[in-house]
Amino acid sequence: MARSVLKFGGTSVADLERILHVADIVAARARAGEKIAVIVSAMSGETNKLVSLSRGAAGEDLQDGDFSDEYDVVVASGEQVTSGLLALSLRRRGVRARSWLGWQMKMMTREGHGSARIDRFDYDSGLAEAIDGGEVAVIAGFQGISENGRVATLGRGGSDTTAVAVAAALKADCCDIYTDVDGVYTTDPRIVPNAKRLEKVSYEEMLEMASLGAKVLQTRSVELAMNHKVPVRVLSSFAAPGDDNPGTWVCSEEEIVEKQVVNGVTYSRDEAKITLLGMEDKPGMSARLFALMAREGVNVDMIVQANARGEGRANMVFTCTSADAMKARGVLEKHRDEGLYEDIDVTSDVAKVSVIGVGMKSHAGVAETMFDALFKKNINIDVIATSEIKISVLIDADYTELAVRALHTAFDLDVT
């Protein structure tokens, strides 16, 4: 029995007209005999509105513990609305359907609130039976229930992860992520209009692309898909049922015959650079510094240490998200007097631009091409980080788009 999981993001359910269009797509597939679970996001803009309402209500003083559990109650509500509206629209088309909220389907989460992780998804909720019995399950994405019975949300973009988790649990034949672009592109098509749609992209590459800024899929959803070998496809919700809409398959590397050296260029502006000048150059200083960061929950990304001019001194540069940088500065200022460092500088005027491709594993010269393309545009590289299948550079945020376009051209990714 073919079980299918379909997910529709915010723009795809932005208003009633779009929801009715989604109902047409789902109804056509249900009539063709597929057993369907549909995951919906909140209407576009709705979650942002709910986030700022929660912040407004909480004021400046509430700490995380007092804030995030009720924040989740508020922001999870956007998906409740769309799940009900889509279920109604399907019934209007004569398709049996009902909505499922996180707590009703026992989507159990762990690791607190705001960006909880899915722990397990209990099977005794009746969801699988309902689907197999021919009723479309319209699932509110992004939400689950914590160990102590409270509403929890999965982090921004988390409906993607709900979809993959449901597909894995149901052993679905496909997990179709319908969105406002018709696939995964070599870079964000909003920045480079002649970006290319990829027919296939490996889990590994997609994971790097998502975590380095391509927000088309939430990083955790790709991680989950890779671990459970869920076949994911990204495709357009704007096409009509029956239109040619091949999308992009996210699949194992072995299924990709022609491996490109570079398959994607990404950017992230949500970066901050922290420079510590005059750290004592002796064993244990880095351990002390990053223990402090870990304790504050600061997720450190790129790290560079270099000897300073002064005797026995070193400078340390590291990056993290802009939000984490505030926390990092706060705790570092407190430790300034203990001789950890002499001076600190924090800036958010930086962006991380990356090139990604599995072919890099077996090709030399990628760094040279990348650095040369940036040099030709007179873009200065601040920090560099590499892994087996990616190279990232930190640059001045003002040059983000210029860098992305230059790299896209340098690696022959432009549609001609």
Q: How far is the CA of 267 from the CAs of 8, 10, 64, 202, 387, in angstroms?
A: 24, 22, 29, 19, 16
Closest CB to ligand ASP among residues 8, 249: 8
Place of tokens 């200022």: 333
Task: State which residue, 161 or 260, has the beta carbon closest to ligand ASP.
Answer: 161
Sites for ligand ASP among residues 69-108 (CB under 6 A): 78
Per CB under 6 A, 179 contacts ligand ADP = yes
Q: Are 210 and 224 in contact (CB under 8 A)?
A: no
Question: Under a CB-based contact definition with an 8 Å cutoff, are residues 207 and 218 in contact?
Answer: no
Instruction: Indicate whether 373 belongs to the interface with ligand ASP (CB under 6 A).
Output: no
Nearest to 207 by CA among 323, 11, 383, 354: 354
Q: Would you count residue 157 as binding ligand ADP (CB under 6 A)?
A: yes
Q: Which amino acid is at 331?
A: V
Q: Which is nearer to ligand ADP, 9 or 78 (CB)?
A: 9
| Other CB atoms within 10 A of residue 253 CB | 15
Backbone torsions φ then ψ of 352, nearest 5 degrees: -110, 125
Query: Please, what is the Cα angle at 277 between 273 and 283, to 5 degrees?
Result: 105
Q: Which of 3, 6, 9, 204 binds ligand ASP (CB under 6 A)?
A: 9
Q: What are phi and psi of 158, to 5 degrees?
A: -70, -10
Chain positions contacting Mg ion, by CB under 5 A: 9, 157
The site map against ligand ASP for 159-178 (x = CB under 6 A) is xx------------------
Member of 214, 222, 279, 289 binding ligand ADP (CB under 6 A): 214
C-alpha dihedral over 405, 269, 190, 51, to 10 degrees?
180
Spell out, one character per residue from 310 to 349, where the chain touches ligand ASP: x when CB under 6 A holds, - when not. ----------------------------------------
68 lines the binding site for ligand ASP (CB under 6 A): no
Q: Is 181 in the site for ligand ADP (CB under 6 A)?
A: yes
In angstroms, what is the minimal distance from the CB of 387 to ligand ADP?
A: 18
Choose which of 91, 215, 228, 329 interacts with ligand ADP (CB under 6 A). Answer: 215
30, 97, 99, 157: residue in contact with ligand ASP (rule CB under 6 A): 157
Q: Which is nearer to ligand ADP, 268 or 319 (CB)?
A: 268
Query: Do 9 and 159 meet the contact criterion of CB atoms below 8 Å apart?
Result: yes
Shortest distance in whole angstroms from residue 157 CB to Mg ion: 4
Question: Binding partner of residue 42 among ligand ASP, ligand ADP, Mg ion, none, CB under 5 to 8 Å per kind?
Answer: ligand ASP
Q: Who's near 235: CB < 8 A, 6+ residues apart?
A: 176, 177, 178, 179, 182, 183, 245, 246, 247, 248
Nearest residue (CB) to Mg ion, 157 versus 183:
157
What's the min distance (Å) between Cβ of 195 and ligand ADP?
Answer: 7
Residue with smaller CB distance to ligand ASP, 142 or 203: 142
Task: Please report, in angstroms and rounded to a whole number, the separation of the first and last CA atoms in the chain.
Answer: 43
Q: Does 158 bind ligand ASP (CB under 6 A)?
A: yes
Name the helix (H) or strand (E) containing 102.
Answer: none
Quote the CA–CA distance of 173 and 4 in Å, as a whole number. Answer: 6
Minimum CB separation of residue 50 from ligand ADP in Å reads 15
Site for ligand ADP in 16-75 (CB under 6 A): 41
- Pick between residue 180 and residue 342 the one whose CB is nearest to Mg ion: 180
* Number of Cβ atoms within 10 Å of the Cβ of 319: 24
Residue ranges with strand state E in 128-287: 136-140, 143-145, 151-153, 174-179, 200-202, 232-236, 248-251, 264-280
Closest by Cα among 163, 144, 164 to 154: 144
Q: Please pick, from the candidates 3, 6, 10, 407, the single residue that binds ligand ASP as defined by CB under 6 A.
A: 10
Site residues for ligand ASP per CB under 6 A: 9-10, 41-42, 47, 78, 141-142, 156-160
Contacting positions for ligand ADP (CB under 6 A): 9-12, 41, 157, 179-181, 184-185, 187-190, 214-216
